[in-house]
Amino acid sequence: MNQGPVLLVIAHGSRDPRHAATVHALVRRVRALRPGLRVETGFLDFNAPSVPRVLERLAAEGEQDVIALPLLLTRAFHAKADIPAVLHEAAARLPRLRIGTAGVLGPSPLLLAALQRRLAEAGAGLTPADRRGTGLVLASAGSTDPEAIAVIAEIARELRHTGWCAVRPAFASAALPRTDEAVRALRAEGAERVAVAPYVIAPGFLPDRIARGAAEGGADVLADVIGPAPELARLVLTRYAEATEERAAARLSTVTVA
């Protein structure tokens, strides 16, 4: 028996097969953490099944409640435009399906923990002494949305207080600096070592650009993408729980007012 609304994880999709494979691995980890919760995956583009097809299937199977969770780290174009448009259109066609939306994943301490995990796996020393001599580049995909850029800058400032000698944000597209520029800047400021932490979930074109920038800039350590990290799986369920609680509170308020 399904425990609560269906959780629909919405990923962007990519021509790179590593993207979908990573998303599916993450969803498997989420399912393992919450046996009994129905978890589905839908893609906005490039991969199947599409979000509308998943919602149509759920409606045909008699499901009534869905929480759609954007697999996004910041509130940018996809969170503000693409996904709401797709869900609004589906809700209009499938009136018996109640579709709620969870918040984007970031920022969150769990994401910082996942970044630390990937840095450690890549060989970045995480002792206080190691961090004092290491500059860190927080490399995101990039966005034209000022809110998303500001979030990345704020996360970099937070990381600076965790012991790294300096932390700089970098972007693979749409904003500056690029990864190689941030690496060189940290080296010029006196960092003995430079580590690059991709603030992205799955492999693909832009994460590959981050990796090339790390190599061109001469970074000492390049962490892997966040991927199906256990911290990310827990965060997905945290956002799902928040959304279900908000929905329940809204219903209670409606009943109370009535």
Q: What is the pLDDT of residues 75-112, one digit of tens each?
A: 988 899 999 999 999 999 999 999 999 999 999 999 99
What share of the chain in percent tops pLDDT 70?
97
**Statement: residue 256 has pLDDT above 50:** no
What average pLDDT score do residues 157-161 get? 95
Tell me how far apart the alpha carbons of residues 228 and 29 are, in angstroms, rounded to a whole number.
Answer: 7
- Specify burial of residue 257 (Cβ count, 10 A radius: 0-12, 13-18, 19+): exposed
Quote the percentage of the chain above a pLDDT of 90. Answer: 92
For 28, 39, 230, the CA distances from 32, given in Å and listed in that order, are 6, 10, 11
pLDDT of residue 252: 63
Q: What confidence tens digit (pLDDT) does each residue in 2-27 have?
A: 589 999 999 999 999 999 999 999 99
The pLDDT value recorded for residue 258 is 37
Mean pLDDT over residues 38-47, rounded? 97
The pLDDT tens digits for 219-243 are 999 999 999 999 999 999 999 999 9
For 65, residues 6+ apart whose C-beta sits below 8 A from its C-beta are 4, 5, 6, 97, 98, 100
Asked if the model's pLDDT at residue 186 lies above 70, the reply is yes
- Residues 53-61 have a mean pLDDT of 98
All domains of the chain in start order, with CATH: 6-105+229-257 (3.40.50.1400), 125-222 (3.40.50.1400)
Is residue 1 over pLDDT 60? Answer: no
